[in-house]
């Protein structure tokens, strides 16, 4: 692991300094273990020192693949004079936002309240008890020196002023959290329709996605638009989804040689990526392209899934069977160096095919990125056999370069997203390798991370482990439901039920009827509710979906009511900002369309399920079994002689049928 860590920050001095982070397992924290700053990990020790010495705490938050985190680390945290200021006047705490997003969420909210924006690196100063008083993101070295001097002098001179600042921010936290009131609009067809129309008004019809830059893929939002557009035969929406997926697939945001997507594009055309590659983006994009293939039947969407999964299996899979978190944007201290090509390099390596490669990938002498070329496909055409052969050779050459650093954390929630992605890919393409990997990864999670009735771990690399946060529970339950959908094994639903019951005990907030993001802890100055859908759907939205589906499997009307109650609390947020409420909108569509179910039962149920997989169905809960089962949804439905499918809408079921050919024809649009 040492070489991986060092490659992510070539500026480390591994001999002169060692701080308390050396005992951590997070690759991001270990990147800072040999800096002159006396970094501490987040925990009781840091608070105890701050209180005994009456010093402000600096919470410096980032993640291993963050380019500007590396820049500030080199410019400021490696500087001995700056480090001396930090050590003398502050208790300095390094936080991996992927390991402790609960901590990140608190101090990010504080900085957003103070400045109106946020990002990483995140630097937030707090009182000795952890209440935030001031913060920002990236600072140049001279600015950072001045900030350190100003805050330390100010705190020594007028602590009362800092106490008042902390009170103001803590009061501001309340305004960020959900406050239901009697004036909330109803979650009905009108709200859904209006939300979609507002999204349509912001479409970038030329480049795909939404207007402006930078551009994030936002796979969950596009999945909602795909589902909604298909259900309502909205050709404007379906065309926009298709354009978006093609532009991303042929753009620089996609790794044209190995597969996999970068986190976002800095421009409006998907050309120049921020080169870091995250597991959570790629998992959700696999789900998106898998679903899109069933709607559009375009070979490119199948290729994107196959290449991206191949990259995940080759580059991101641990020996345990779990998946790593991220690849850095930088290699050899330069952003994107691993991925870009010069015209001269192409001509040297491929003297007879340079023109062909240059034409297909848009390579020029001037380049499209700092004098080099990010590979794109300007013609928007699929590679022919000669290009495919050249891609393999180019990839072999690229493998000889110094690779970006790998963050080898295996986060439970992100692996759960990957399991769901593998299930979606298996449904769309029938490749048994995808199902086998989904089963393997889930078994590793359950064996190593799940202690029934006690806890679910987020991160378990020795010598430390982190208890699961609410997104770990919500997304793992969702993955268990997805696994049951593709392999018809009740055990996954019973495990999901146990996990849901435990989540209710640990995270449920009776006053808001929502779920806290983090466990109760003396080290957290506030417990928040994650309700806004961002690049990953909010954990409360995911759990509301889980509750609805689990209510159908187990006949639990109370869970259905809870899901509907949570949705109603989101109506104002949906109305205010549908772009960041997409998973709530998807749930609203489920309710609006009548809670559809398809139940398959009989010894040929799995065979017929695979036939049903050939069609795209957006808002239907599917459950099945090849043997008699005590699961409530199957009660009274087993038939020893026939394989039947039941179709129900809000608990009203039509006659069961064994004519699957006619059933599929009736459901093919």
Q: Comparing 473 with 188, which gets the higher pLDDT?
A: 473
- DSSP tally for the chain: helices H, then strands E: 26, 21
Nearest to 120 by CA among 145, 133, 103: 103
Q: Is residue 665 exposed (0-12), middle (13-18) or buried (19+ Cβ within 10 Å)? A: exposed
Q: Is 340 helix (H, G, I), strand (E, B) or coil?
A: coil
**Rounded-to-integer distance, Cα 493 and Cα 597, Å:** 16
Q: What percent of the chain has pLDDT over 70?
A: 95
Q: Can you spell out the DSSP letters for 347-415?
A: HHH-TTTHHHHHHHHT--SS-SBTTBB----TT-----HHHHHHHHHHHHHHTTSPPPPEE----HHHH
Where are the extended beta strands (E) located within 12-169?
40-41, 56-62, 90-96, 122-126, 132-136
Q: Quick one: tokens of 151? A: 């805050």
464 band by pLDDT with thresholds 50, 70 and 90: low
Q: What is the pLDDT of residues 205-222, one digit of tens each?
A: 999 999 999 999 999 999
In this prediction, residue 436 carries a pLDDT of 97
Q: Quick one: tokens of 467? A: 């208890």
Phi/psi of residue 512, each to 5°?
-105, -15
In this prediction, residue 184 carries a pLDDT of 61
Radius of gyration over alpha carbons of the chain, in Å? 26
In this prediction, residue 261 carries a pLDDT of 98
Q: Under a CB-based contact definition with an 8 Å cutoff, are residues 106 and 132 in contact?
A: yes
| Average pLDDT for 287-306 | 98
Question: How far does CA 201 lie from the centroid of its chain?
Answer: 26
The CA-atom distances, in angstroms, between 119 and each of 133, 141, 423 are 17, 18, 32
386 band by pLDDT with thresholds 50, 70 and 90: very high
7 pLDDT higher than 60: no
49 pLDDT higher than 80: yes
1 pLDDT higher than 50: no
**Rounded-to-integer distance, Cα 494 and Cα 555, Å:** 13
Q: Is the dihedral of CA 630, 636, 642, 648 positive or negative?
A: negative
186 band by pLDDT with thresholds 50, 70 and 90: confident
267 pLDDT higher than 90: yes
**Rounded-to-integer distance, Cα 241 and Cα 245, Å:** 6
Lowest mean pLDDT among 53-57, 184-188, 397-401, 405-409: 184-188
In this prediction, residue 501 carries a pLDDT of 97
In this prediction, residue 232 carries a pLDDT of 95
**Rounded-to-integer distance, Cα 457 and Cα 519, Å:** 12
| Average pLDDT for 564-583 | 94
Nearest to 58 by CA among 44, 74, 47, 69: 47
Percent of the chain that is helix, strand, coil (3-state, to 5):
50, 15, 35
In this prediction, residue 183 carries a pLDDT of 56
104 pLDDT higher than 90: yes
Q: Comparing 178 with 100, which gets the higher pLDDT?
A: 100
**Rounded-to-integer distance, Cα 463 and Cα 467, Å:** 14
Q: Under a CB-based contact definition with an 8 Å cutoff, are residues 389 and 404 in contact?
A: no
Give the position of tokens 């370069």: 401
Could you tell me whether strands 620-625 and 596-601 are parallel, antiparallel, or unpaired per DSSP bridges?
parallel
Nearest to 503 by CA among 466, 538, 537, 474: 474
| Average pLDDT for 639-666 | 86
Nearest to 527 by CA among 506, 541, 548, 555: 506
5 pLDDT higher than 70: no
Which letter does DSSP use for residue 538 in this model?
Answer: P
Q: What integer best gives the mean pLDDT of the chain?
A: 92
**Rounded-to-integer distance, Cα 206 and Cα 156, Å:** 56
Give the position of tokens 């393997």: 440
**Rounded-to-integer distance, Cα 179 and Cα 9, Å:** 43
| Average pLDDT for 479-500 | 97
In this prediction, residue 176 carries a pLDDT of 65
| Average pLDDT for 229-240 | 97
8 pLDDT higher than 80: no
Q: Under a CB-based contact definition with an 8 Å cutoff, are residues 630 and 230 in contact?
A: no
Q: What is the pLDDT of residues 395-414, one digit of tens each?
A: 999 999 999 999 999 999 99
| Average pLDDT for 580-594 | 95
**Rounded-to-integer distance, Cα 384 and Cα 497, Å:** 48
**Rounded-to-integer distance, Cα 16 and Cα 138, Å:** 26
In this prediction, residue 268 carries a pLDDT of 96
**Rounded-to-integer distance, Cα 525 and Cα 327, Å:** 32
187 band by pLDDT with thresholds 50, 70 and 90: confident
Burial of 19-49, coded b for 16+ CB within 10 Å and e otherwise, reads: bbbeebbbbbbbbbbbbbbbbbbbeeebbeb
Q: What percent of the chain has pLDDT over 90?
A: 79
* Stated length of the chain: 669
552 pLDDT higher than 60: yes
pTM for this prediction: 0.92
Q: Is residue 508 exposed (0-12), middle (13-18) or buried (19+ Cβ within 10 Å)? A: middle
In this prediction, residue 178 carries a pLDDT of 58
637 pLDDT higher than 60: yes
């Amino acid at each position: 692991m040492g070489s991986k860590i060092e490659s992510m920050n070539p500026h480390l001095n591994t001999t002169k300094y060692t701080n308390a982070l050396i005992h951590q397992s997070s690759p991001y924290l270990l990147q800072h273990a040999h800096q002159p700053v006396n970094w501490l990990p987040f925990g009781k020790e840091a608070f105890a020192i701050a209180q005994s010495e009456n010093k402000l705490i600096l919470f410096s938050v980032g993640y291993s693949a963050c380019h500007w985190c590396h820049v500030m680390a080199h410019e400021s945290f490696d500087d001995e004079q700056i480090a001396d200021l930090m050590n003398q006047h502050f208790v300095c705490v390094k936080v991996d936002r992927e390991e402790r997003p609960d901590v990140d969420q608190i101090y990010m909210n504080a900085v957003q309240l103070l400045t109106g924006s946020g990002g990483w690196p995140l630097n937030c100063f707090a009182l000795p008890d952890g209440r935030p008083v001031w913060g920002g993101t990236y600072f140049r070295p001279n600015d950072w020196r001045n900030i350190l001097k100003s805050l330390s002098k100010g705190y020594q001179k007028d602590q009362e002023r800092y106490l008042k600042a902390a009170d103001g921010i803590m009061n501001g936290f309340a305004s960020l959290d959900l406050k239901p009131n009697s004036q909330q609009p109803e979650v009905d067809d009108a709200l859904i329709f209006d939300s979609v129309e507002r999204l349509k008004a912001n479409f970038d019809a030329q480049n795909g996605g939404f207007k402006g830059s930078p551009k994030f893929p936002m796979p969950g939002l596009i999945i909602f638009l795909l589902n909604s557009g298909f259900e309502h035969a909205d050709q404007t929406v379906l065309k926009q989804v298709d354009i978006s997926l093609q532009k991303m697939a042929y753009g620089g945001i996609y790794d044209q040689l190995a597969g996999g997507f970068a986190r976002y594009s800095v421009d409006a055309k998907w050309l120049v990526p921020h080169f870091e590659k995250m597991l959570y983006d790629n998992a959700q994009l696999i789900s998106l392209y898998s679903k899109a293939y069933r709607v559009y039947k375009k070979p490119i969407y199948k290729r994107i899934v196959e290449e991206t999964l191949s990259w995940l299996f080759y580059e991101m899979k641990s020996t345990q069977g779990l998946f790593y978190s991220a690849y850095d944007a930088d290699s050899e201290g330069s952003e994107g160096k691993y991925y870009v090509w010069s015209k001269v390099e192409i001509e040297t390596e491929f003297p007879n095919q340079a023109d062909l490669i240059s034409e297909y990938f848009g390579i020029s002498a001037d380049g499209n990125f700092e004098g080099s070329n990010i590979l794109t496909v300007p013609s928007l055409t699929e590679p022919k056999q000669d290009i495919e052969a050249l891609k393999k050779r180019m990839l072999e050459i690229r493998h000889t370069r110094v690779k970006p650093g790998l963050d080898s954390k295996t986060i439970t929630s992100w692996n759960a997203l990957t399991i769901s992605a593998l299930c979606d890919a298996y449904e769309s393409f029938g490749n048994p390798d995808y199902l086998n990997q989904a089963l393997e990864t889930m078994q590793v999670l359950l064996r190593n991370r799940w202690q029934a009735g006690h806890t679910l771990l987020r991160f378990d690399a020795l010598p430390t482990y982190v208890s699961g946060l609410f997104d770990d529970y919500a997304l793992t339950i969702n993955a268990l439901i997805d696994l049951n959908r593709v392999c018809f094994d009740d055990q996954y639903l019973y495990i999901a039920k146990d996990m849901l019951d435990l989540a209710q005990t640990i995270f449920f907030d009776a006053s808001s009827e929502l779920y806290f993001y983090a466990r109760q802890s003396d080290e957290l100055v506030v417990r928040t509710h994650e309700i806004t859908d961002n690049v990953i759907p909010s954990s409360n939205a995911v759990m509301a979906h889980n509750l609805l589906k689990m209510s159908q499997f187990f006949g639990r009307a109370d869970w259905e009511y809870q899901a509907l109650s949570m949705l109603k609390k989101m109506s104002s947020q949906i109305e205010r900002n549908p772009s960041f409420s997409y998973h709530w909108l998807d749930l609203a569509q489920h309710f609006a369309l009548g809670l559809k179910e398809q139940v398959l039962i009989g010894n040929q149920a799995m065979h017929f399920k695979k036939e049903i997989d050939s069609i795209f169905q957006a808002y239907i809960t599917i459950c099945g079994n090849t043997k008699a089962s005590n699961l409530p949804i199957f009660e009274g439905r087993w038939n020893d002689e026939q394989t039947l499918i039941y179709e129900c809408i809000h608990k009203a079921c039509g006659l069961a049928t064994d004519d699957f050919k006619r059933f599929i024809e009736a459901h093919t649009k």
